[in-house]
Amino acid sequence: MADTNERNLIRLEDGDLDQPVYRIYAIDRFIALLASKNDAVVNPTKWDDPFEDFFLDRTEVMDGVSGSTIPLSNLAGDWHGQCWSLHEDTDAMWRIYSPNPKASVGVKVRTTIRKLFTNLKAVGSSAPYLQFFVGKVDYLAEADIRRLMSRLTFADVAIGGQGDRFADLLCIKRTAFKHEAEVRLLFQDIEIKRSSGGVFRYPLDANLVFEEAVLDPRLDDVDLAALKAKLQDSGCTLPIYRSPLYESPRFVIPFE
């Protein structure tokens, strides 16, 4: 990506951008994505872990003159993100995001960091380095996060006005979530307000940006065939198959 520089990438180098990343969508959400050709990044307040937005939503800046504090929550509304994983297939991710293969099955898609980031930036901006970021999440103990915050000043984060330091803080999570191996797609809505209700919708053609659609490993053959047909009828042209995570291997060993 010719216009990538260090301010776009958080704990990533240009050579990392072709790494595959994965995300599990609820099947109804994925079908809606196929139909609308739009995906969404959402405000961090909508993320599952209430600790994730610790800087913008739960931090106040002390005015050294008056002694009063100024909340940063007004800045929090500008930020939006979407979470992906570097892990191809894990039991934990299927059980979290596809909790019941009979009632709430998920569809896991694969793409690359570069494809995701390039597609998001295609929405256009006169100041892309202020608005678009992609980062690898750093997992810290809660005590380490508290120590980080005790040493931080607002000037440390805001200096230069580029947004990369804010994005960096949005790519920090507690070690309890380390199993997710997360990569985050981030958008700062500062130029013209394009988000609504904490959601920024942008064009994404699943058949072009994604590379495959993988169904829950717990599905039996009948349900697998039905769901595959449903996705194809909904316009999915990607390769579709069942995750091999739970397939039992067979071994042949000599008698002696």
Tens-digit pLDDT string for the chain (256 aa)? 334 455 699 999 999 999 999 999 999 999 999 999 999 999 887 776 666 656 555 666 656 656 566 556 666 778 899 999 999 999 999 999 898 888 889 999 999 999 999 999 999 887 888 899 999 999 999 899 888 888 877 777 776 667 888 889 889 999 989 999 999 999 998 876 778 888 999 999 999 999 999 999 999 999 999 999 999 999 999 999 999 999 888 889 899 8
Cα angle, residue 223 at apex, residues 219 and 224 outer, rounded to 5°: 70
- In the chain the first and final C-alpha atoms are separated, in Å, by 57
Burial of 91 (0-12, 13-18, 19+ CB in 10 A): exposed
Neighbour tally for 54: CB within 10 Å: 21
Tell me the DSSP string of 28-51.
HHHHHHHHH-EEEEE-GGGSS-TT
* 217 contacts 242 by C-beta, under 8 angstroms: yes
How distant is the alpha carbon of residue 50 from its chain centre?
Answer: 16
Q: What pairs with residue 242 in β-bridges?
A: 215
